[in-house]
Structure 1
Amino acid sequence: MIEILTPTEVDRARDTGALVGDILQTLRRRTTVGTSLLDIDAWARELIAEAGAQSCYVDYAPSFGRGPFGHHVCTAVNDAVLHGMPRDQALADGDLLTLDLAVSLDGVAADAATSFLVGEARPPESVALIEATERALEAAVAAVVPGARVGDVSHAIGQVLTGAGYRVNTEFGGHGIGSSMHQDPHVANIGRPGRGFRLRPGLLLALEPWVMADTDELVVDPDGWTLRSATGCRTAHSEHTIAVTEDGAEILTLPRAA
């Protein structure tokens, strides 16, 4: 299903998106060397409840997972990149952590992810991974212009990622979002321009470039959820929910506080 939101629904999506951005910013600020992934999940649960919102993950049970997910935020460390299930793991200096959060507020969902390094260590390969996904996300947003198609967005992402020397996995990518977390259209992280669904005002998209340092192959943890690089290399993932407007794209999941 491809859902086109009304202006009133887009207004509600702005509130949901800002909440997602605020919570991710708070979680990132609180996370230090020694923080447990379970602590991050508990903080997310509290912040979502305080806002009167609902987690999109707790009851999430798609065909590819061993559901329901049962947690409030995805926590992927180092070689984990998607659907990282929180566990009793303390973070170390230099760990590359991705937090992926989706919530619903007043009937509209928003989804965002951020990758960052914990502590003071800054491994160059990890910095490059994160920066590549951030540049790819910027390119994706810039490609959302009047008359654009999904393939134009996918192409913009792929040009950045492959240009940085990374291979692109096409099993998981961006997606439509609205009254539910995952909707059509699928937004692959590589594609051909001029192809696919023509973007329309009122369409919400979760754009999420992610990449692995030296492979495009994934393996699944015994938990049935956490997806890791097949080679054990590090990974990164950046995501925003955007609204398609008459003029281009509006990023909805930026934090309100500086």
Structure 2
Amino acid sequence: MIELKSEREIRYMREAGRIVAAVLRELAAALRPGITTAELDRLAERLIREAGAEPAFKGYQGFPASICTSINDEVVHGIPSPHRVIREGDLVSIDVGARYHGYYGDSAATFAVGEASPEARRLLEVTRESLARGIAAARAGNRLGDIGYAVQEYVEAAGFSVVRDYAGHGIGRAMHEDPQVPNYGQPGTGLRLRPGLVIAIEPMVNAGGHAVRTDPDGWTVRTADGSLSAHFEHTVLITAGGPEVLTGGAF
């Protein structure tokens, strides 16, 4: 069931989005060689709670941490660990979610730590721009397929691939609501976008093929061919005047 959000609900979601964006900025500033992903997780939980919100991911379907930290060939859902040390040249994807007065915000970004390779930096640029193009297509009257097509066309023209096993999603009183928001598709197809719909648009882009596999931990998703991956995400409100990014300023 597709839920359109009321003005009251949107106010709460704007605040949830603001908190997520602020936390993601702080985590980006803390990233450095030698820090562990568990340290980032502790920082994120403290900041989220100090802002009057709750970590959205902690305990969600059994996930044991407050953020997801996915490194290099890891696509999404990496589990923070005191044994996982960030190193020079790593690509680190950080996914942050917060619940504020019962409503969710969700954003993710991938960062190069120190001197990353030219391929890695190009992957980041393409993935971030593909998100911008997906958001630009998220206009009232357009369809979900227009978003996916905008992302896919740009990514594949750059020689990269979009992950097909995972997608963006509706968001509101639940972290994941209908509809699914794939990062591929055909223009003019799928659900028509209406004002009040809030969705998380999140391209996951691989330097190699689009196939992925899940680690034995049941969470960490990585590229099947070992290639690098990047992930950018914003929570977006559809309005009559165009898309409003509720997690704006996160990166």
Q: TM-score range by the shorter chain?
A: over 0.9
Query: Hey, what's the Cα distance between the residues in 1 that align with 2:19 and 2:240?
Result: 24
* TM value normalised by structure 1: 0.94
Quick check: 1:22–1:254 contact (8 Å CA) kept in 2? no
* TM value normalised by structure 2: 0.97
Alignment correspondent of 2:10: 10
Query: Hey, what's the Cα distance between the residues in 2 that align with 1:2 and 1:85?
Result: 30
- After superposition, the C-alpha distances for 1:157-207 in whole angstroms (9 at most, x for unaligned) are 111111111222211011100011111111111101111111111110100
Q: How do 1:234-245 and structure 2 match up within 5 A?
A: 234-245=228-239
Deviation of residue 40 (structure 1)?
0.5
Structure 2, unaligned runs of 5 or more:
none
Q: Which letter does structure 2 place at the counterpart of 1:245?
A: T
Among residues 68, 75, 79, which one is paired with 2:73 in the alignment? Answer: 79
Q: Is residue 26 of structure 2 the alignment partner of residue 26 of structure 1? A: yes
Alignment correspondent of 1:64: none
Query: Hey, what's the Cα distance between the residues in 2 that align with 1:225 and 1:86?
Result: 11
Q: Which letter does structure 2 place at the counterpart of 1:220?
A: T
Alignment correspondent of 2:123: 129
Quick check: 2:57–2:63 contact (8 Å CA) kept in 1? yes
Query: Hey, what's the Cα distance between the residues in 1 that align with 2:162 and 2:44?
Result: 30
Query: Hey, what's the Cα distance between the residues in 1 that align with 2:171 and 2:130?
Result: 20
Quick check: 2:141–2:192 contact (8 Å CA) kept in 1? yes
Q: Structure 1 stretches (4+) deviating beyond 4 angstroms?
A: none
Q: Which letter does structure 2 place at the counterpart of 1:53?
A: A
Alignment correspondent of 1:157: 151
Alignment correspondent of 1:104: 99
Deviation of residue 129 (structure 1)?
0.9
Quick check: 2:27–2:44 contact (8 Å CA) kept in 1? yes
Deviation of residue 111 (structure 1)?
0.6
Alignment correspondent of 1:209: 203
Alignment correspondent of 1:252: 246
% identity of equivalent residues: 40
Q: Is residue 130 of structure 2 the alignment partner of residue 139 of structure 1? A: no
Deviation of residue 255 (structure 1)?
3.3
Q: Which letter does structure 1 place at the counterpart of 2:174?
A: S
The answer to which of 137-146 and 22-31 deviates more is 137-146
Query: Hey, what's the Cα distance between the residues in 2 that align with 1:56 and 1:237?
Result: 18
Query: Hey, what's the Cα distance between the residues in 1 that align with 2:66 and 2:149?
Result: 32
Quick check: 2:146–2:187 contact (8 Å CA) kept in 1? yes
Structure 1, unaligned runs of 5 or more:
62-67
Query: Hey, what's the Cα distance between the residues in 2 that align with 1:193 and 1:239?
Result: 21
Quick check: 2:70–2:94 contact (8 Å CA) kept in 1? yes
SS of match in other structure, 2:219: coil
SS of match in other structure, 2:60: coil
